[in-house]
Amino acid sequence: MTMKDKKEILALNAFALESADLSTFEDNLAELLRRREQIFGSLSVLFYQRPLHIVSARGCSILAADGTRYLDFYNNVPSVGHCHPRVTKAVCDQIQRLNINTRYLYRILNDYAEKLLSLFPPELSNLVLTCTGSESNDLALRIVRYFTKGEGFIVSSNAYHGNTAAVTEVSPASYRQGSLPRYVRTVPPPDPLYYGSDVGKGFAEAVAAEIQDLQQAGIPFAGLLVDTIFSSDGVYVDPPGFLQAAVDVVHEAGGLWIADEVQPGFGRTGTMWGFERHGVVPDLVTLGKAMGNGFPMAGIVTRPEYLRAFSEHFGYFNTFAGNPVAAAAGLAVLEVIEEEGLVENASWLGTKLRSWIQDLSTHYPVIGGVRGAGLYLGIDIVDPKDGRPDVRRATRIINALCEEKQILIGATGSLGHILKIRPPLCLQSPEAELFAEALEDVCRALL
């Protein structure tokens, strides 16, 4: 894929503010957009061909300024539901009492951290708190590099792990020009298209080949960094356990495996952590997004010896991380997930939704297939004539669902032709049905 292609795909998937004709929007929206461009300039990104002006949200429901109510099938940060009253109450109670940093002791941080760690295998007994998934992955890369004394990392070919300088280097999806540094190697995502029927074996062989190539180039190997559901590659989760062989290869070569759980973590895939699906305990787990249901917080769960090795080299302190308000938010999120049975809900409702879409695909050839686990699904949109990826039709579906059906979804994959379905975990069965019906209507119109 050339950079020109990549830019075209970006333009299709995001609202390109700089080149937009604002006169096609009513005054209010045009004014907001003009102000937005003036303030944020080139780094402004908005969703949909007609961007949404939002005023409030609750559960899976989003209210726009014009009174339209949207069903949210996209946002995985407010994962237990937009503005969940239990989480917002925890934040409000705590922020009025104490908001300080971790160089002081306060009980709620210990309480939260212990509850969080109790959800991990016992060997992952240490926690580092940060503010964002990017900070978590940035620090995880450093910890692995200092522990292994390696430099080379392997990631999937359309990986996205965050936005710092170091993390962008392992995020091919962020590049609009230029190429990855020589110590970063990519392997195709775990898609039978690349690896045939035995994805696990093929993926492990691809990882082994890149390790060998790094070594031949004189670059000591550090580790493998993958999001356990390969979300930006297009959602690849099957067969369960396929990552095991690759992780074995990584360990044999002296490397470590960072499981990026920023997206799959906290119940999204129908298990608490995405790595559970693979039956392998990661060396480091990075967390973010859903962790505070929108309160900015993130972290790393790992083994004490890795932190010890790192701390010989550098001090690490993170001003906002682990503050008592974040701890209160995080604790409330864990309690809500448990008490409302959201992991189970993601599992059974996700399975149901996937089977409905599977059924649709037999009637509507524009749906090339559906993949996923729990409430994270990827739906391939293809040209009905030849079955090839069809980003234009995907874009039409996304915008039609938004404008005609008031349902919000997004796109993923290196070509941008895969619908990304990722509702809050409190989704209910009638809402899932509504989505399936809406998708059918929109696909019918595309026939």
Show contacts with a copy of itself in window 281-300 (CB under 8 A). 288-289, 294-297
Using DSSP bridges, classify how beta strands 407-408 and 69-72 pair: parallel, antiparallel or unpaired: parallel
Size of the site for a copy of itself (CB under 8 A): 98
Q: Count of CB atoms within 10 A of residue 278's CB?
A: 22
Using DSSP's 3-state secondary structure scheme, residue 24 falls into helix
> How far is 53 from 360, CA to CA, in rounded Å?
32
Residues 6+ apart with CB under 8 A from 35: none
Using DSSP's 3-state secondary structure scheme, residue 300 falls into strand
Of 40 and 348, which CB lies nearer to a copy of itself in the complex structure?
40
Of 293 and 361, which CB lies nearer to a copy of itself in the complex structure?
293
> How far is 254 from 222, CA to CA, in rounded Å?
8
Two structure tokens written together for 45: 């990104």
Two structure tokens written together for 199: 């994805």
Of residues 318-347, those binding a copy of itself (CB under 8 A): 318-320, 323, 325-326
Of 174 and 244, which CB lies nearer to a copy of itself in the complex structure?
174
Taking CB under 8 A as the binding criterion, the range among 107-115, 226-234, 239-247, 396-404 that sits at the site for a copy of itself is 107-115
Of 347 and 395, which CB lies nearer to a copy of itself in the complex structure?
395
> How far is 183 from 242, CA to CA, in rounded Å?
25
**Could you tell me which of 292, 307, 369, 326 has the C-alpha nearest to residue 144?**
307
Please pick, from the candidates 79, 132, 157, 347, the single residue that binds a copy of itself as defined by CB under 8 A. Answer: 132
Taking CB under 8 A as the binding criterion, the range among 112-120, 181-189, 244-252, 360-368 that sits at the site for a copy of itself is 112-120
Two structure tokens written together for 300: 């790393």
Using DSSP bridges, classify how beta strands 284-287 and 298-302 pair: parallel, antiparallel or unpaired: antiparallel
Please pick, from the candidates 71, 128, 199, 249, the single residue that binds a copy of itself as defined by CB under 8 A. Answer: 128
Using DSSP's 3-state secondary structure scheme, residue 260 falls into strand
DSSP state of 444: H
Of residues 361-400, those binding a copy of itself (CB under 8 A): none
Of 36 and 251, which CB lies nearer to a copy of itself in the complex structure?
36
Of residues 24-83, those binding a copy of itself (CB under 8 A): 29, 32-33, 35-36, 38-47, 51-57, 62, 75, 77-78, 82-83
Please pick, from the candidates 73, 106, 153, 275, the single residue that binds a copy of itself as defined by CB under 8 A. Answer: 106
Of residues 149-188, those binding a copy of itself (CB under 8 A): 163-166, 168, 173-178
Of 314 and 348, which CB lies nearer to a copy of itself in the complex structure?
314
Of 4 and 385, which CB lies nearer to a copy of itself in the complex structure?
4
Using DSSP bridges, classify how beta strands 126-130 and 298-302 pair: parallel, antiparallel or unpaired: antiparallel
Please pick, from the candidates 67, 104, 179, 218, the single residue that binds a copy of itself as defined by CB under 8 A. Answer: 104
Taking CB under 8 A as the binding criterion, the range among 104-112, 379-387, 420-428, 439-447 that sits at the site for a copy of itself is 104-112
| Nearest distance in Å: CB 11, a copy of itself | 12
Please pick, from the candidates 315, 339, 362, 385, the single residue that binds a copy of itself as defined by CB under 8 A. Answer: 315
Sequence length of the chain is 447
> How far is 372 from 338, CA to CA, in rounded Å?
22
Of residues 181-240, those binding a copy of itself (CB under 8 A): none
Q: Are 408 and 370 in contact (CB under 8 A)?
A: no
